[in-house]
Chain A
Amino acid sequence: MDRTEVYSRLKGVFADVFDREVELKDETTAADVPGWDSLTHITLIGAVEDEFDVKFAMKDVVGMKNVGEMVDKIIELADE
């Protein structure tokens, strides 16, 4: 799975969870997206896991710093 495909599917997940289009790039963090609070984050992580049929380890969830790292982790898990 390449980054372009991951990004395109990720945008679909964000659009559902936030109920609107969200601009995403590698450096995007929760602080850049209105409404991305800790509770929405939980829903988001769950929805991302379902979309890509992956399960993040707890340390991954705690460690992700931005969207780019999330994409890296998705590619890593999906390719296993």
Chain B
Amino acid sequence: MNNRLLAYPFDANLIMRKAKALRRDLSASANLIEKRIAVLGGSTTHDVIAMLELFLLDNGIKPVFYESEYNQWWEDGVFGNAELDVFKPDVVYIHTSVRNVKTWPAIAADAAAGDLAGETVGKWRAVWEKIAEKFKCPVIQNNFEYLPYRLLGNLDAVDRRGRVEFVTRLNAGFAEYARTHDGVYLNDINWQAADFGLARWHDEAYWCMYKYAMGKAAIPVVAFNAANIIKALFGKNKKALALDLDNTLWGGVVGDDGPENLELGTETAVGQCYTEFQEYLKELGRTGVLLNVISKNEPENAKAGMNHPQMVIKEGDFISVKANWEPKSENLKAMARELTLLPESFVFVDDNPAEREIIRQQVPGAAVPEIVQVENYISAVDHGGWFEPVKISGDDLKRNAMYSENAQRAQLQSSFADYGAYLDSLEMKATIKPFEQVYMSRIAQLTNKSNQFNLTTKRYTQEEIVRTAADAAFVTRYGRLEDRFGDNGVVAISIGEMKGDAMELVLWLMSCRVLKRDMEFAMMDEMVAEAKARGAKTVRGFYYPTAKNGMVRNFYATQGFTKMSEDALGNAVWELDIAGGYEPKNRHIKIERS
């Protein structure tokens, strides 16, 4: 999120007008990852694609597009076409709308007869199934917005022949499918149209003249939402909030006004707004977003405010609290280091425009919503789409707990002089096994989210993970780590490919939340044991440098490998001879195996 014009709340008309210049500027950024996106449209998709491209570029994704011929979404989807087959999409986006509903319940018909809604959903389902079978890639599907008229007035929402009622049923059918099938994601244009204003959303002239499914100003909204889903699928979501305190979480300045005079709670209108904002943030925390504080305050004043009886978010709900007078940009960078996150994984929420500007300049990549009036705080944080969950995993729900357990571990560590004794005191138990069905989505998620402790930064879709696990030429292992403070979940993934008498480590990654716990040694022990069992004499590792994985440049050296080659860009090949034996390196983790 680097371009101010593309940040919510954006001026849709201005983006459309300046699209060419924006595209030129954004395409010049470094480190873009290329993704192939097929847009199958039920209306004119030219501007949808132009806008999608801008929002994806802004998220570090350089899209290459396939665009179906006008209104060929169903034909392309069901029957395919040669150009699309060759294109091999990474994502298929089906941009249909209420304009593509061709058969409506007849007014003259018996209201109870038939299942037209089921048949209509079935027409779309045929496309989703075909795409899943053929391309094994995620599908993003628009649901339906309401029509701009109601033949039956308010009864339209009640009677089975009403179109409001019919659209509601179609949307329920779409949602049901997406809920029960991995890889299908809804772009909820029904909600977007309501939020935007249905009367402004529909533009009959644009439909009749240009076959635009929605008015021009609504197109960036649809594309913004679709782009948010795509960037989430490719691991570009933000992970944490850094929240200011004074006039952000409560009204007033605690150091000047005293904690007893803060505006918070339901007694005043302003206090009510701050309370509702906190309730929103607390729920966001429950979805796995980490809540943190960066405040210019004396630590004891900040603490007094956070212990205000009307605080919805309690002091213990925050993972990291920085209350001091250092520049906020420095605090944010230090916080990122402590939590082993990247600074650009943060959304920085502060009522002070000067602080926002410092973060924008000093921490490029961090998201900085324009919060202006407390009554608009929720909308400003919510509509940015930075945390867009495509799925809520068990790990997401436990994430805040896991990070506060980490804080407890850090405390324990400081009480031990010897690091090995500390590791033993954690009573760690790891499960290291070949990929299992229940973890496929978490494994795919990790391959897309892990940037720092990742040797080859190879990204996989869930379908590719499933295929690799089933392929006898590959050795797959996931590692799950528990200790006395809790379950860290699946935190390490390794994939080896058998090549003659060598095993090549095509993927090696670990979540930074278990750095320095010896988990990487436990994983290597297991991989080497399997390589030996399969008759390998050599284990070959690769390091491909990226902007973010400098921390593992010498990973294979610490594992006892020898560097065989390194090119000018730093791409290196390492080898470990296992024919002469291998000494297991894990000393502190008890292992449960396949």
List residues of chain A with CB under 8 Å of any chain B CB.
13, 16-19, 39, 42-43, 46-47, 50, 57-58, 61-62
Contacts and interface: CB of A to CB of B under 8 A. Distances in A.
Interface of B: 13-14, 16-21, 24, 44, 46-47, 205-206, 208-210, 212, 216
Given A42-B47, A43-B47, A50-B13, A16 B18 contact: yes
26 contacts: A13-B17, A16-B17, A16-B18, A16-B21, A17-B20, A18-B20, A19-B20, A19-B21, A19-B24, A39-B44, A39-B47, A42-B47, A42-B206, A43-B16, A43-B17, A43-B19, A43-B47, A46-B13, A46-B16, A46-B17, A47-B13, A47-B17, A57-B205, A58-B205, A61-B205, A62-B209
Given A58-B205, A61-B209, 5 more contacts: A42-B47, A46-B16, A47-B13, A50-B17, A58-B209
Contacts of A13: 17
Nearest to A35: B20
Nearest to A59: B205
Contacts of B46: 39, 42
B17 A17 contact: yes
A15 to B, nearest CB: 9
Residue with the greatest number of chain B CB neighbours at <10 A, chosen from A18, A42, A58, A61? A42
A74 B275 CA distance: 49
B214 to A, nearest CB: 13
Residue with the greatest number of chain A CB neighbours at <10 A, chosen from B16, B17, B20, B44? B17
A51 to B, nearest CB: 8
Nearest to A57: B205
A46 B208 CA distance: 15
Contacts of B20: 16-19
A16 B219 CA distance: 18
Contacts of A47: 13, 16-17
Contacts of A39: 44, 46-47
Contacts of A58: 205, 208-209
B210 A42 contact: yes
A68 to B, nearest CB: 21
B5 to A, nearest CB: 12
A61 B212 CA distance: 15
Contacts of A50: 13-14, 17
Contacts of A57: 205
B45 to A, nearest CB: 10
A42 B210 CA distance: 8
A38 B14 CA distance: 20
Contacts of A18: 20
A43 B217 CA distance: 11
Given A16-B17, A18-B20, A19-B21, A46 B209 contact: no
Q: Which 9 pairs show the lowest CB-CB distances between chains A and B?
A: A19-B20, A47-B17, A50-B13, A46-B216, A58-B205, A39-B46, A16-B17, A16-B18, A42-B210
